[in-house]
Structure 1
């Protein structure tokens, strides 16, 4: 079967669906190819902290109603350090921008809703996806669906299919430069239908890092640093809650409401960037091009900014025949990516206990936190980065 569209989008996660929706608003046709089912995609538990710029974009794209109804607005995040006073990194005070807590699953549900409402083409369970002629003027994508081989001809391909997807691997290896840093620990996280402590709180303790986050007034998300060889079967709920509370000061620990976990997982931490984010008529966006440790809360926000740059470039091409933004897409997106990678790396190093950390490094980190706590200028610099750099014009 032969089919044609203007933009073939590989991957039906939030990046691919948001790009499809925004192209639709600009009068551009697209087809989304997703390897999994919709139900599977919506089971993925991902990030939940949104920058002001991401919220503004979602609102402008007609996706703000549920966000405003269910999302939680807060002034930034807290850092609590063992035996020290909590520090509020106030994005509202220092950058004039609040932050939002709103689960990625809810955003993806809304994106599916509006694409289905608007008649968007989303192919679920697209198997054996292959990209062809991406360095020429007439790229195409082949895939299998329901036992049938299909060909999708297009003008451009957007690779939004994540770190393990086919898009980045379709670029000749000699033309891609990758940068990676794997961290020697992971995050054990749980979701529980319990009222959250109310804020995003990072904790640094001699026992390891911990994080309290939230999705809505009756859905909490908590993490603790764990070793990479941890077995999730060895972490029943009772043990997790006990360990979590030990890593927070008593005043915060006593506010944590425990309950049965509805999701539990262990995720390794890594920083990864692939350059460039374009090859011929293929453009990478989101996790297909970069991964950041969740410490900086930047993964979903970077995907959203990639989509902003890419949809603008594609609309300018089709509407006005102007390729300026297409030609500058990779450089522009990567400037924001590396800023987020740097912030996530800094926070990861500061707040975690590394296996080889000695007394000297522990004291250096404590001194760094003391300086941050005492210096409004240092707080402002951190808040500006945490709030998110503005999108380039």
Structure 2
């Protein structure tokens, strides 16, 4: 392949470290001999079709350095679902700008976009390399130990539940229960992270409900009553995507997005946290509160994990290196070599596999009751998140000593 330009886009929801991956791609492309310029898609593939591009090669090194610690998606994102009718227009744009390499940072749908574009270009006789960089706080991408962005979002969740759990414990004479709702449409990786800081039975959370297990209202209320009787208050974490056994979302929403994914808590349905809140209030007559962070774990750079930032950057650089070797149709993956000390290497997975498969939490990471993660999950997560704070505990035996 002769010299040409490259383009990179960010797609879907952001993470705290997605811009670090972008910085890695920018720096890596400088070392690839057959890439002249690196262009950035404004607003993802949707903006690319509208010829909204920025010259990343012209940015100062200070700007690229700052990207490594800048939250959200600096290029602007999109959730446009690629249609077959879009492909000719995209190919025309690729030809217009002499783009021979495309990088996309995103999740399953994004990997599917690259896969379809490179296949279409090949059928049209146009040489195009495509390399994906993983990104999602949901951590449900197939073939990678974890996704850049997940460790930081998991830390955000663990700290939030730990600190709001202290509030719930100390305010139990006012509010007998609290519900923390986590994002995570089809997998419970992020919701489960809320239990990482728990040290004893009294600590929050007491119950964790995940999309991998069918939700049962009667069993849920029995769990709540049992915890309240033992501890005096109830702290609950739930994933936004929990469903009943028949597949109906607990949020009862019937609204879907452009990818046919249910819009949890959208018009036509309350959030799942509100649903659970109502169930408890109606059953027991208790006062309680719910907390819905929505997209905040996606952009909290103040809680970003250093290892996550470094791995995200390394994935970007590796994507550029792979393109320089002629690789195409692959996504960069993270492979864990050791837990203690934590050590990882980078690998690849075919886009054709990543695009059509997901990675739910495995059975051994969820307890038999389906209402709490197991030690196997905590062993997996601790090296990614790092140390969490330990707070004061008073002696309550009345001795004062």
TM-score by length of 1: 0.35
Q: In terms of Rg, which structure is larger?
A: 2
